[in-house]
Amino acid sequence: MKQDLVKRKLILEDGSVYPGYGFGSLREKKLELVFNTSMVGYQEILSDPSYTDQAVVMTYPLIGNYGINADDFETKIPTTGALIVRSYTEEPSNFRSRETLSACMETYDIAGISNVDTREITRRIRDHGSCKALLADASMSSEEGAAILRNWDYAHDQVSRVSTKEIRVSESIPEEKWHVAAIDCGMKENIVRSLNALGCRVTILPYNVSADTIRDLKPDGIFLSNGPGDPTDVPETIETVRTLHGFCPIFGICLGHQILALSYGAKTYKLKFGHRGGNHPVKNLLTDKIEITSQNHSYAVALDSLAGTGLTVTHENLLDHTVEGICHKNDAAFSVQYHPESAPGPQDSKYLFSRFVQCMKGEDPYAEERRS
Task: Say what the pLDDT of residue 369 is.
Answer: 59
- Considering the candidates 254, 257, 297, 315, report the single residue annotated as catalytic: 254
At 107, which CATH number?
3.50.30.20
Residue of 13, 32, 106, 341 with catalytic role: 341
What is the rounded (10 degree) CA torsion for 52, 197, 343, 336?
A: 70
Give the rounded distance of the alpha carbon of 166 from its chain centre. 21
- Amino acid present at 67: G
Active site includes 327? no
**Domain's final residue, options 150, 173, 188:** 150
| Residue 254 designated active-site | yes
Q: From the candidates 74, 200, 339, 359, which is the catalytic residue?
A: 339
Q: How far, in Å, CA of 280 to CA of 310, rounded?
A: 27
Same domain, 122 and 38: yes
Residue 367 pLDDT grade (very low, low, confident, very high; cuts 50, 70, 90):
low
Provide the residue count of the chain.
Answer: 372
pLDDT at 364: 79
Closest to 14 (Cα-Cα) out of 35, 33, 39, 38: 33
pLDDT on residue 152: 97
Tally the domains of the chain. Answer: 2
Distance of alpha carbon 159 from alpha carbon 232, whole angstroms: 11
CA nearest to 256, candidates 328, 354, 186, 357: 186
The DSSP code for 51 is: G
- State yes or no: is 341 an active-site residue: yes
- Mean of the per-residue pLDDT values of the chain: 95
Closest CA to 53 of 37, 75, 30: 30
Q: Which of 150, 179, 194 is the last residue of a domain?
A: 150
Q: Can you give the residue range of the structural domain that contains 305?
A: 158-371
Lowest mean pLDDT among 91-95, 114-118, 169-173: 169-173
Task: For residues 136 and 239, state if they share a domain.
Answer: no
